[in-house]
Chain A
Amino acid sequence: MSESIAKVPHDESLEHGLLGWVGTIDHKRIGILYLVTTLGFFLIGGVEALLIRIQLARPENNFLSPEVYNQIFTMHGTTMIFLVVMPALIGFANYFIPLMIGARDMAFPRLNAMSYWLLLFGGLLLHFSLVAGGAPSAGWFTYAPLSETPFSSTKGTDYWVLALLVMGVGSVASAINIIATVLTLRAPGLTIRRLPLFVWMVFVNSILIILAMPALNASIVMLLIDRQLDAHFFLPANGGSALIWQHFFWTFGHPEVYIMALPAFGMISEVIPVFSRKPIFGYEFVAASTVAISILSFGVWAHHMFAVGLGYQGNLFFAASSMLIAIPTGVKIFNWIATMWGGSIRFTTAMLFAMAFLVEFVIGGLSGVMFAVAPIDWALTDSYFVVAHFHYVLFGGTLFAMMAGTYYWFPKMSGRMLSEKWGRVQFLLLLVGFNMTFFVQHFLGMMGMPRRVFTYPDLPYWGALNMISTVGAFIMGAGMLVLVGNIVMSLLRGERAGDNPWNAWTLEWATTSPPPEHNFDRVPPVQGRRPLWDLANPDKADWKFKKVEGGDPSFGKNRTCMFSFLVSEAVFFIMLILSYLYFNSGKFGGPTASSSLDAFKTGIYTICLLASSFTIWLAEKYHHRKQFAAFRGWLVVTILLGVVFMAGQGAEYVGLFDRGITVSTNLFATSFFTLTGFHGLHVCVGLVALAILLGLAMARDGAKMIAPALGTIGLYWHFVDVVWIVVFSVVYLKILS
C-alpha cells in the first residue's frame, strides 16, 4: 500500500486557483467536476423535458413542430442517460471510493482526469449538432433503419454516434480505474468482504460497464459505417438487418439500465443503515444479489423486442428470465426494509429521499415485471406506460437515490451542511411533482397513447391527464431549482459540518470535511464492516459479535487495468464476429469469402503475427534475466513481424480495392472490412505501444524503467494475436459456416 502512496504525484494544480481545476488529477476535484457538469446537463435535459410537456399539455398543440419535437425528446433521453445519470454516479464513485477504502487517490489519476474531459467534450459535441444542421431525432436508441441516411439526412445522428463513442471511452476508462482501485488500493484490514456496499456495488457495476459498453460501441460503429461509408449493415433493402441493430443495441441497453441502478442501490445501502442507526440487514444477500442481477442482466435483453417477431419460443425464454431478474432486486428491497425495522429512524432529508426511493422503485419495478409478460408487453409497448415505468425506476429510483446521496455526502464534500428546511421543501416538491407527472402516464398508456408522438387527438381524458402531467413537471422543475439554490446558499453561508455530522461508520467520515489533498492523516484500523463504529464502541465492536475475515488474492495495478481493458475489447470483437457470421450465412450475390480471399497468403502473414507473440515472450524472458541487449533485439523482431503482418493486410486490402470490392460493395465486404479493419487498428496501436517501449528502452537505464509496462503491453499483444486466430478461422478458414 505504501508504494502506491509514494507514487501518486502531488497535484500541483491545487496551487493555481480556478485554473487549477482544469489541470487537476485529484479524484475529489474530478468528482466535483463530474457532479457540477452533470448538474448543468441535468438542467438542459430538464428544460427539454419541460418543452416536451408544454407541447403535450393540450391536444393538437402547435407549440413545437414535429421535427423539433423529435429532436427534443431524442436529446432529452440521450442527455439524461449519458450526460446526467451515468456520469453523476461515476462522479460520486470517483469522489468517494478512494475515501471509503482508505486510499490516497484512484489507481490511475491521469486516466481519471481524461475520463472527465471526454465526458465534457462528448457532451459538447452532441450539443454542437444543434448548430450544425439539427440534433439527432431518431429517439435515444436510434433504431435502424430510421437512423440511416435515407431517413435521417441531417448530421444529427452522426454527432450522436461520435459523441457516444467519445463518452463511451470515458466510461470504460472510469470503470477500469474503479476496478483497479478497489482491487489494489484498499487499506490494510479492508478485505473485499468488508467493503462498504456502495463500493462493492460500484465495483460490480464497473465490471458491468466494461462488458456492456463495447456492445454499444460495436453497434454505433456499424451505424457510422453505414451512414458515412455507404454500407448496409442495417438497411433491409440491401440485405442488411434492422433487427440486428435492435439485438446489438439492447445487448448494451439492458445492462445499461442496471448500470444506472446499481450505484444508486449502493447509495441507499449507505444512507438507510446510518439513519436507522442499525447495520445493514443481510449484507451478504445484498452483495450476492448484486452479482446475480449483473449476470442476469445480460440474459434478458430481448424483452425489449417482444413485439418484433422473435417467435413463441424466444419470447417464452426471455419472459422467464426477465421475471427471474426481479428476484434479486426484491431481495435487496426486503433487506433495506429489514434494516429500518426496529431501528431508530432519523428523518433527515437524505432518509426521506431514501424511503421515497423504496416506494417509487418498487412501483417502477412492478410495472417492469408486468412487461416481462409478453402479451401485456404487446399491448403496452411503446405507449406511455413504458414511459411511466422507466421514469419511475430512473427518476423515482436512481435520481431520488442520488438526492439521498447528495444530502448525505454534501457535508463531506464541501464542509457545509445543506439546509434541512429547504431540503424538505425540495423533497415535497419533487415527491408531489414526480408522482403527478408520471403516475397518470400509466393510465395514458393503458388508454392507448403512444410514446414519441408530438401531439394527440382530443380523446376523452387524454387532455386532462396530460395537463396534470405537465403541471407536475413544472413542480418538479421548481423542486430542482430549490436544490440548486440550497447548494449555492449552503456553500456561501451554510452551517459548518464537522468530520462526521451524521455519526456514520465508514472510512470517508474519518477525515476532515472536505478532506485534505492526501485524504487521510491516518487511516483508522479496519477489522470489520463499520470501522468507525468499532473505534467508537470498542466493547460493542462488530468483530466481537461476528468476524468478517478472509484473505484476498493480491492483484497488480497494471495487470488488472490491462485485463479489464482486454475483457472489454473481447466483447467488442465478439460482437463484430457475430455480425460477420450473421451476414455471411446464407446465400447472397457479389463477392464472398471463398471468391475473394486468399487464405494461403494470409496464412503466411498470420504465422508472422503468431511468431511475434513468441518473440515478445522471449523479449520478456530476457528482460527478466536482465539481458537487455537480447531483450531489445527480440523487441525489434516483434515489431518487424507486426509490420510485416500489417503490410500483408494492406496488400490484401489494395488487391480487393483493385477488384472493386470496397466497404459498400455487399455485406460480406462490409463485415469483412469492419472486422479485419478493427483488428488491424488494434495491431497498429500495439505497434505504436511497442515502438514507444523500444524508444524508452534505448535510453541508458530505460530497459529497467519500462519493466512495469512490458508485461502489460505483452498481454495486449497476445490478446491481439488470439483475436486474429479466431478471426482467421472464422473468415478465412470458414470453420463455422
Chain B
Amino acid sequence: MTTHQFLTSAWEANPLVIALCVVVLVIYGWRIRFSARSGFLIAGLVLSALVLVSPVDALANGYLFSAHMLQHLVLLLVVPPLILLSLGGSSVVKRLAGRAISPMAILTCWLAGLGAMWIWHVPSLCSAATQSPAIHRVQYVSLLAMGTMFWWPILAPRREQRISPFAGIAYLFSACLGCTVLGIILTFAPLGACPAYLSPSDRLGILALIRDGWGFTPEKDQQLGGLLMWVPACMVYLAGIISQLVRWYGESAEEPGEVPIRVLLERMS
C-alpha cells in the first residue's frame, strides 16, 4: 500500500464518535444557544472527531506509539480547553450555582491532569489499552474527563471559579514540568515503554509501509512519542501561561474613554 492509498482509505467513521458529537452539538444548541464562542466548540468537536476517525486513529490502534501519543495529547490538552471556552459566559452557565474553588479542589484537578498522563504510561496499562477495545474506550473517556478537570481552574465557565492569573501561571508551569519529565523519560527509555507497539498485528497491511516506506523503527517511534509529549505539549502549557499573563496585565490596565480591556477579555472568554 502506498502512503496516498493509506491516507485515503484508512478513515473509519466510527458511529459512536459521530453520534456523540451530534448529541453534544444538539444539547449545546438547545440549552446554551449558538453564538460566536460556539466556534470553540466546533473546533473542539472537529479535532476530537478527526483524531478518532482519521488515519491517525488507525495508526494509533497498535501500529505507532507516536500516533497514540498525538491522539492523547489532543484529547487531554487541546479539546477540553476548547470545550470549556465554548461554555464561558453563557446565560445558562450563569444560572448555575458556583462558589470559589477550594485549594483541595485545585489540587485534585491538577493531579487529575497529571495523573491521566502518568497512569496511562505505566507499561502494562498502556499495552492493555491498546489491545482491549473496552479499556481503550475507558482511556478515551478518562482523558477527556480528566482533561476537563485539569483545565477547570483555568477556564471554568464561571469566572468566580477561576483561580487568579498569578496562581494560574504556577499551576500551569508545575504541570508543564510534570509533563516534561515524563516526556524525557519516554524519549530516553529503552524500548518497551508500551510493549504492545513493539510487534503490531498487521490488520491493515501497512506495516511494510510504516517500517520501510516511512522509516519508523520501534526505537524512533518511541523517541518521537516522548518528544511529542516533551516539546509540543510544553508549548500548549506555554500558550496557557501567556494567556494568563495577557489576562493579568489586561485586567489591570484601563484607559479612560475606552472599553476596559477587562470587559473585552470577559466577552471573549
Query: Which of A's residues lie within 8 Å of B, judged by CB?
Result: 191-193, 284, 287-288, 291-292, 295-296, 298-299, 311, 313-314, 317-318, 320-321, 545-550, 552-553, 574, 578, 581-582, 585-586, 735-736
Contacts and interface: CB of A to CB of B under 8 A. Distances in A.
26 contacts: A284-B253, A291-B169, A292-B241, A295-B176, A295-B238, A295-B241, A299-B180, A299-B231, A311-B220, A313-B223, A320-B231, A545-B255, A545-B256, A546-B254, A547-B252, A547-B253, A547-B255, A547-B256, A549-B251, A549-B254, A550-B248, A550-B252, A553-B164, A553-B167, A578-B184, A585-B189
B230 interface: yes
A288 B166 contact: no
B268 interface: no
Chain B interface main SS type: helix
A585 B251 contact: no
A736 B185 contact: yes
Chain A interface main SS type: helix
B173 A295 contact: yes
Given A545-B255, A549-B252, A550-B251, A578 B185 contact: yes
Contacts of A582: 188
Interface of B: 122, 164, 166-167, 169, 173, 176, 180-181, 184-185, 187-190, 220, 223-224, 227, 230-231, 234, 238, 241-242, 245-246, 248-256
A284 B254 CA distance: 13
Contacts of A288: 242, 245-246, 249
A586 B190 contact: yes
A545 B248 CA distance: 19
Given A288-B242, A291-B241, A321 B231 contact: yes
Contacts of B169: 291
Contacts of B249: 193, 284, 287-288
Contacts of B252: 191, 193, 547-550
B82 to A, nearest CB: 22
Contacts of B230: 299, 317
Contacts of A193: 248-249, 252
Nearest to B121: A736
A155 to B, nearest CB: 33
Contacts of A549: 251-252, 254
Nearest to A587: B190
Contact of A574 (B173, B181, B223, B246): B181
Given A295-B173, A313-B220, A553 B166 contact: yes
Given A284-B249, A550-B251, 9 more contacts: A191-B252, A291-B169, A295-B234, A296-B238, A299-B230, A311-B223, A546-B254, A548-B252, A550-B252
Contacts of B246: 284, 288
A546 B253 contact: yes
Contact of B234 (A192, A299, A552, A736): A299
B57 to A, nearest CB: 22
A311 B223 CA distance: 9
A130 B130 CA distance: 61
A299 B231 CA distance: 7
For the complex of A and B, 7 pairs with smallest distance between CB atoms: A550-B252, A284-B249, A288-B245, A317-B231, A193-B252, A547-B254, A317-B227
Contacts of A299: 180, 230-231, 234
A430 B102 CA distance: 57
A548 B238 contact: no
Given A550-B251, A585-B190, A314 B122 contact: no
Nearest to A288: B245
Contacts of B224: 313
A706 to B, nearest CB: 25
A647 to B, nearest CB: 32
A552 B255 CA distance: 20
Contacts of A550: 248, 251-252
A375 to B, nearest CB: 19
Contacts of A296: 238
A292 B220 contact: no
B153 to A, nearest CB: 15
Given A288-B249, A546-B254, A586-B190, A581 B166 contact: no
Nearest to B165: A550
A339 to B, nearest CB: 17
Nearest to B260: A547
A205 B184 CA distance: 24
Contact of B242 (A292, A298, A318): A292
Contacts of A287: 245, 249
Contacts of B220: 311, 313
A543 to B, nearest CB: 10
Contacts of A191: 252
Contacts of B167: 553
A313 B231 contact: no
A552 B167 CA distance: 11
Residue of A191, A287, A550, A574 with most chain B CB atoms under a 10 A cut-off: A550
A546 B190 contact: no
B190 A314 contact: no
A206 B137 CA distance: 45
Nearest to A283: B249
A735 B122 contact: yes
A315 to B, nearest CB: 10
A722 to B, nearest CB: 13
A736 B184 CA distance: 13
Contacts of A192: 166
Contacts of B185: 578, 581, 736
A311 B227 CA distance: 12
A292 B169 CA distance: 11
Contact of B255 (A291, A311, A546): A546
Given A287-B249, A578-B184, A313 B241 contact: no
A318 B234 CA distance: 12
A582 B190 CA distance: 9
